[in-house]
Amino acid sequence: MVGIVIVSHSKKLAEGVRELAAQMVQGKVPLAVAAGIDDPENPLGTDAMQVYEAIASVYSDEGVIVLMDLGSALMSAEMALEFLPEELRDKVHLCEAPLVEGAIAAAVAAAAGSHIQQVMAEARGALVAKATQLGVAYNLTPLVPAPLSASPEEVRSLEEPETKKIHITVRNKLGLHARPAAKFVATAARFQSQIKVQNITKSTELVRADSINQVSTLGVRQGHELAITATGSDADEALAALQALVETNFGEVLPDVETQRRPDTQIHIPSSHHFLQGIPASNGVAIAPVFLYRPTPIDIQQYHVDDVEAEWQRLQVAIQIAHEEIEAVFSQASIQIGDAEAAIFDAHLLFLEDPVVLEAVQQRIFEQHYNAEAAWQAVVDELANNYRSIEDSYLQERVADVVDVGQRVLRLLTRFQSHIRISDDSHINFNLCEPAILIATDLSPSDTARLDPAKVLGICTTSGSPISHSAIIARRLGIPAIVGLPPEILQVADNTRLALDGESGRVWIEPEPDIQTALEAKRNAQQVAYQQALATAFSPAMTRDQKQIGVFANIGSIFDTQAALNLGAEGVGLFRTEFLYLERTTPPTEEEQLAVYQSIAQLLDTRPFIIRTLDVGGDKPIPYLNFPHETNPFLGWRGIRFCLDHPDIFKTQLRAILKASLGHQIKIMFPMIATVQEIQAAKAILKEVQAQLSQAGIPFDENMEVGIMVETPSAVVLADKLAAEVDFFSLGTNDLSQYVMAADRTHPRVAALVDALHPAVLRMIQQTVQAAHQAGIWVGLCGELAADPLAAPILLGLGLDEVSLNPQAIPGFKQAIAQLTMAQAQTIVASAMDQDSAADVRELIRKLSQH
Ligand code: PEP
Ligand code: MG
């Protein structure tokens, strides 16, 4: 029997429809609901994964009909189809019939044993009966859009309330530039009254005060006089609020920039030098011209649409997501650079809410039947040209903001149009002739992984965090990097000379000669220290009292391996194999993987080589694996969870690892283990693959060690039980810290919380080490903590058997161990456990290491 799926934003609505339909057919027809989202605060919405599951629950060879309410319900349903295997997809039909009538008609037809096409036809004709009864002529052509409702302006004009007016002079330094304009518009929008503003000095027209673009184009500068009118019930309050805003200079304080910044402990520079402060992400100094990475513009096509309502809804969804994205950038910017500076993003948000822009786009969609992309693009272009035509250099700079927001929405729209989550088509294609410092809003791990350190001497981004995968890769590549910089950095023109200090997180634009000299001296000092550390990097990491700790490398490719060996790595403690899966359109084949594993194993000879199985998800989504959109990707379908659900992909990798293992010391490691069942299931699949190889007479290392990453709090708590299942543990403190501290590892605003030196995390490590040793297995640590220059005494004192870290940090780590005794390290650990914060632990290590 044909199955029916009801998709709605509202769970209650969908359940009601199901109840009605089920009653009609006495429960004979398989009916499933995919409605609402799992967010108690905001439960209205649709989720492609739910739709997929609902389809699966009623699927049969007879087919499935999916009925949806509107907007994103359609997108979710379309996306759900993409998740289905191709052979099943043909049997699932999305039906444009009205939800309630369509579901009932479809259920009745399905219960009567009709085939799928008849069921669809019944659903489509479901309104005919209602229309006939109401005496309305009805055919099945698309509905004509409802006329646009009268604007508040039109409604108010009928009542003609009194208009109030004030005149006021703008005194702040840059006039109504983006940030003050944003505040002005946001204030005006708080009131019911219709507010308009005019630049008297420039004799402009009176424009709407709730439109960021109209206000910005007034070209208001310091000293200009404004006339502000308000018509409506709260006109007086509105004018008073706007007057107060202008008179307080929009809250603009113009402090000496230096006083806002953290004290510079590293280099002494005259305080008069301006610099931008970001979050240090990768150590080192770089001085070079700028290369500003701009995503490739999106090429869009214009076409005629019939279903204008759906088109408008599609745009609304894209705007909503753009809004969320900008809010995230806004909040991270405010913590790093202060609310006043971050308010630039307010202007971006207001652009998305601008009634004038939205009305213009709506008009193109509803009246001219433009597709959403074309309508949006046309309005954005028009606006950008308006800005360009104004003779005001500041306003001309706003073009970049308009284009930026415009492109963000377009990218989202084009993503939805192709029904699947595709990778951003704005991939970096660096054609750098000269070495440069790269500036970007953000870089994905795959973008970063492709950087050539000989060409990209430094990285500056406005988003990101020091333990995001992009930052980890930058450190691995030895590229100095600063994340979370203020957005001004994006205004720097190509080829401008820039200096950056990855240790202090500071950037100087066109640095003065004395800063350049100081930074060069610092770079030289760092290089000398590094060379000294390198001289002992090939000896084992041995304390003064002869306690040894193994030091291995974290790698992401073949190319890292030789570099790691050259820096004193005693083997590989973590191969992040997910990098083999990036930058492609299909997963790597068994042969391709085997070739990589074999090449690395050959370089390592019989040194340990820990291969971590695919750890996708989190901040490493892989477009072709069709990941559904996740609200919390780090808490979602990641690592082993994904692999256990995709045994085909998992087995291919296991086969390749096993085949490469003979004659080497390869160990296998499963990521993101949170339960005993997961490791048992992973081992069972491994056994199955081993049995198949044995049967086929293919040799492999039958004694290969099997371990897990301990990176979830549950794995720590269950460490005794998990230890009984495996040969080793490796602590993943990057993830463990984010889960223990409940703070996203990529979120700059909570970056201080995700510090693995926090006593809460250190206690988790201690607990894991004790459980492992009690069970007689060895335990290592492969999180970024190991590369923290202060962490060496802690890791030693905690009793870890080995650490695995970014190759560049190996010489320094070994050098630090050589200066310690075990007793000293244990004393530091004992006190560290009793501290209140990571900052206290750092302070303690600094103090005690000197004794
Ligand atoms: C970790 O979580 O500490 C780890 C090493 O794994 P990744 O950073 O790749 O998630
Ligand atoms: Mg991890």
Q: Is 708 within a domain?
A: yes
Q: Are 653 and 502 in contact (CB under 8 A)?
A: no
732 in contact with ligand 1, CB cutoff 6 A: yes
Tell which of 396, 414, 432 closes a domain: 414
Low-confidence winner among 173-177, 227-231, 764-768, 809-813 (lowest mean pLDDT): 173-177
Active-site residue list: 469, 782
Alpha carbons 661 and 222: distance in angstroms, whole number: 72
Length of the chain: 851
Nearest bound ligand to CA 783?
1
Which parts of 559-703 are beta strand (E)?
572-576, 608-612, 665-670
Predicted confidence band at 128 (pLDDT cuts at 50, 70, 90)?
low
Ligand 2 centre to CA of 638 (Å) is 10
Ligand 1 centre to CA of 281 (Å) is 16
Same domain, 410 and 427: no
User: To which residue do tokens 């490691």 refer?
Assistant: 669
Alpha carbons 233 and 238: distance in angstroms, whole number: 10
Residue 410 has pLDDT above 50, yes or no: yes
Residue 151 has pLDDT above 50, yes or no: no
Ligand 1 centre to CA of 108 (Å) is 53
Q: Are 605 and 562 in contact (CB under 8 A)?
A: no
pTM of the model: 0.53
Phi first, then psi: what are they for 596, rounded to 5°?
-70, -50
**How many C-beta atoms surround the C-beta of residue 244 within 10 A?**
10
Residue 129 has pLDDT above 80, yes or no: no
Same domain, 176 and 129: no
Ligand 1 centre to CA of 754 (Å) is 13
Alpha carbons 275 and 280: distance in angstroms, whole number: 14
Across 400-414, b (16+ Cβ under 10 Å) vs e yields: ebbbbbbbbbbbbbb
pLDDT at 344: 62
Same domain, 841 and 723: yes
Nearest ligand 1 atom to the CA of 785 is: 3
User: How do residues 632-654 score in pLDDT, each as one tens digit?
Assistant: 889 999 999 999 999 999 999 99
Same domain, 81 and 221: no
Low-confidence winner among 21-25, 90-94, 747-751 (lowest mean pLDDT): 747-751
Ligand 2 centre to CA of 306 (Å) is 48
Q: Which two tokens stand for residue 704?
A: 């290969």
Alpha carbons 669 and 735: distance in angstroms, whole number: 15
pLDDT at 424: 39
Nearest ligand 1 atom to the CA of 576 is: 9
146 or 793, higher pLDDT: 793
Q: Are 340 and 251 in contact (CB under 8 A)?
A: yes
Average pLDDT over residues 722-747: 94
pLDDT at 423: 35
pLDDT at 14: 93
pLDDT at 337: 38
Nearest bound ligand to CA 804?
1
The one-letter amino acid code at 709 reads M
Nearest bound ligand to CA 734?
1
DSSP character string of 108-132: HHHHTT--HHHHHHHHHTHHHHHHH
pLDDT at 444: 67
Predicted confidence band at 378 (pLDDT cuts at 50, 70, 90)?
very high
639 in contact with ligand 1, CB cutoff 6 A: no
Residue 330 has pLDDT above 70, yes or no: no
Across 21-51, b (16+ Cβ under 10 Å) vs e yields: bbebbeeebbbbbbbbbeeeeeeebbbbbbb
Cα separations in angstroms, 735 against 401, 582, 689, 718: 35, 20, 29, 17
Ligand 1 centre to CA of 216 (Å) is 46
pLDDT at 595: 93
User: How do residues 661-713 score in pLDDT, each as one tens digit?
Assistant: 999 999 999 999 999 999 999 999 999 999 999 999 999 999 999 999 999 99
Tell which of 516, 532, 565 closes a domain: 516
User: To which residue do tokens 């199901």 refer?
Assistant: 18
Same domain, 617 and 764: yes
Structure-derived torsion over alpha carbons of residues 146, 151, 154, 157, reported in degrees to the nearest 10: 150
Helical packing angle, 126-133 and 99-111, nearest 10°: 120
Residue 303 has pLDDT above 70, yes or no: yes
Alpha carbons 75 and 417: distance in angstroms, whole number: 9
Domains in the chain, number: 5
Ligand 2 centre to CA of 109 (Å) is 51
Alpha carbons 727 and 83: distance in angstroms, whole number: 37
Alpha carbons 16 and 6: distance in angstroms, whole number: 10
User: How do residues 770-816 score in pLDDT, each as one tens digit?
Assistant: 999 999 999 999 999 999 889 999 999 999 999 999 998 999 999 99
Give me the domain span that covers residue 476. Answer: 276-296+421-516
Residue 394's CATH number: 1.10.274.10
Q: Are 825 and 796 in contact (CB under 8 A)?
A: yes
Average pLDDT over residues 623-632: 76
Q: What letter would DSSP give residue 180?
A: H
Average pLDDT over residues 607-626: 86
Q: Which two tokens stand for residue 309?
A: 């309502």
Low-confidence winner among 425-434, 622-631, 812-821 (lowest mean pLDDT): 425-434
Nearest bound ligand to CA 469?
1
Q: Is 524 within a domain?
A: no
Alpha carbons 35 and 48: distance in angstroms, whole number: 10
Longest Cα–Cα distance of the chain, Å, equals 97
The one-letter amino acid code at 482 reads I
Alpha carbons 646 and 724: distance in angstroms, whole number: 26
Predicted confidence band at 453 (pLDDT cuts at 50, 70, 90)?
confident
Q: Is 271 within a domain?
A: no
Alpha carbons 778 and 728: distance in angstroms, whole number: 5
Residue 162 has pLDDT above 90, yes or no: no
Alpha carbons 49 and 628: distance in angstroms, whole number: 6
Cα separations in angstroms, 277 against 336, 378, 592, 751: 8, 37, 43, 15
Residue 556 has pLDDT above 60, yes or no: yes
711 in contact with ligand 1, CB cutoff 6 A: yes
User: How do residues 269-298 score in pLDDT, each as one tens digit?
Assistant: 444 578 998 888 899 999 999 998 876 667
Q: Percent of the chain scored above 90 by pLDDT? A: 48
pLDDT at 149: 36
Predicted confidence band at 130 (pLDDT cuts at 50, 70, 90)?
low
Q: Are 735 and 712 in contact (CB under 8 A)?
A: yes
Q: Is 371 within a domain?
A: yes
Collect all residues with Cβ–Cβ distance below 8 Å to 467 and sequence separation of at least 6.
734, 737, 738, 745, 746, 751, 754, 784
Same domain, 719 and 833: yes
Average pLDDT over residues 820-829: 94
pLDDT at 537: 92
The one-letter amino acid code at 386 reads N
User: How do residues 573-584 score in pLDDT, each as one tens digit?
Assistant: 999 998 888 766
The helix (run of H) or strand (run of E) holding residue 439 is strand 436-440
Cα separations in angstroms, 745 against 234, 360, 464, 710, 780: 45, 40, 9, 16, 21
Predicted confidence band at 427 (pLDDT cuts at 50, 70, 90)?
very low
Across 182-192, b (16+ Cβ under 10 Å) vs e yields: bbbbbbbbebe
Q: What letter would DSSP give residue 577?
A: G
Collect all residues with Cβ–Cβ distance below 8 Å to 367 and sequence separation of at least 6.
none
Alpha carbons 823 and 811: distance in angstroms, whole number: 22
Residue 728 has pLDDT above 50, yes or no: yes
Residue 360 has pLDDT above 90, yes or no: yes
Same domain, 35 and 78: yes
Of residues 434, 479, 476, the one with CA closest to residue 455: 434
Of residues 300, 440, 270, the one with CA closest to residue 376: 300
Collect all residues with Cβ–Cβ distance below 8 Å to 599 and sequence separation of at least 6.
558
Predicted confidence band at 599 (pLDDT cuts at 50, 70, 90)?
very high
Ligand 1 centre to CA of 731 (Å) is 9
Residue 421 has pLDDT above 60, yes or no: no
Same domain, 587 and 723: yes
Q: What letter would DSSP give residue 28?
A: -
712 in contact with ligand 1, CB cutoff 6 A: no
Ligand 1 centre to CA of 737 (Å) is 10
Alpha carbons 624 and 639: distance in angstroms, whole number: 16
HEC assignment per residue over 273-307: CCCEECEEEECCEEEEEEEECCCCCCCCCCCECCC
Helical packing angle, 759-775 and 822-832, nearest 10°: 130
804 in contact with ligand 1, CB cutoff 6 A: no
Helix (H, G, I), strand (E, B) or coil at 619: coil
Phi first, then psi: what are they for 817, rounded to 5°?
-65, -40
Low-confidence winner among 150-154, 160-164, 254-258 (lowest mean pLDDT): 254-258
pLDDT at 301: 87
Ligand 2 ion: nearby residues, β-carbon < 5 Å: 711, 732, 735
Q: Percent of the chain scored above 70 by pLDDT? A: 86
**How many C-beta atoms surround the C-beta of residue 131 within 10 A?**
12
Helical packing angle, 99-111 and 116-124, nearest 10°: 150
806 in contact with ligand 1, CB cutoff 6 A: no
Alpha carbons 197 and 213: distance in angstroms, whole number: 12
Pocket test for ligand 1, best of 612, 735, 784 (most atoms within 8 A of CB): 735
Same domain, 611 and 752: yes
Nearest protein Cα to ligand 1, atom 8: 734
Residue 110's CATH number: 3.40.50.510
The helix (run of H) or strand (run of E) holding residue 57 is helix 48-58
Nearest ligand 1 atom to the CA of 730 is: 5
Burial class (CB in 10 A: 0-12, 13-18, 19+), 274: middle
Nearest ligand 1 atom to the CA of 733 is: 3
576 in contact with ligand 1, CB cutoff 6 A: yes
pLDDT at 766: 98
Same domain, 611 and 710: yes
Average pLDDT over residues 391-396: 61
Q: Are strands 3-8 and 285-292 parallel, antiparallel or unpaired?
A: unpaired
Same domain, 428 and 452: yes
Residue 157 has pLDDT above 60, yes or no: no
Nearest protein Cα to ligand 1, atom 3: 732
Average pLDDT over residues 37-61: 85
Nearest ligand 1 atom to the CA of 578 is: 9
Average pLDDT, the chain: 84
Residue 631's CATH number: 3.20.20.60
733 in contact with ligand 1, CB cutoff 6 A: yes
Chain centre to alpha carbon of residue 795:
31
Q: Is 134 within a domain?
A: yes
Predicted confidence band at 266 (pLDDT cuts at 50, 70, 90)?
very low
Q: Are strands 481-483 and 497-501 parallel, antiparallel or unpaired?
A: unpaired
User: How do residues 71-119 score in pLDDT, each as one tens digit?
Assistant: 778 888 888 888 787 778 889 999 988 999 889 888 888 887 878 887 8
311 or 127, higher pLDDT: 311
Same domain, 701 and 617: yes
Pocket test for ligand 1, best of 709, 739, 755, 802 (most atoms within 8 A of CB): 709
Residue 120 has pLDDT above 80, yes or no: yes
Tell which of 477, 495, 516 closes a domain: 516
Q: What letter would DSSP give residue 490?
A: G
735 in contact with ligand 1, CB cutoff 6 A: yes
Residue 334 has pLDDT above 80, yes or no: no
Low-confidence winner among 85-89, 94-98, 381-385, 391-395 (lowest mean pLDDT): 391-395
Across 670-679, b (16+ Cβ under 10 Å) vs e yields: bbbbbbeebb
Alpha carbons 350 and 182: distance in angstroms, whole number: 7
Nearest protein Cα to ligand 1, atom 9: 576
pLDDT at 261: 28
pLDDT at 218: 84
Q: What angle do CA 139, 144, 145 make, to 5 degrees?
A: 150
Nearest ligand 1 atom to the CA of 574 is: 5
Q: Is 526 within a domain?
A: no
Q: Is 696 within a domain?
A: yes
Q: Is 155 within a domain?
A: no
User: To which residue do tokens 């039109």 refer?
Assistant: 154
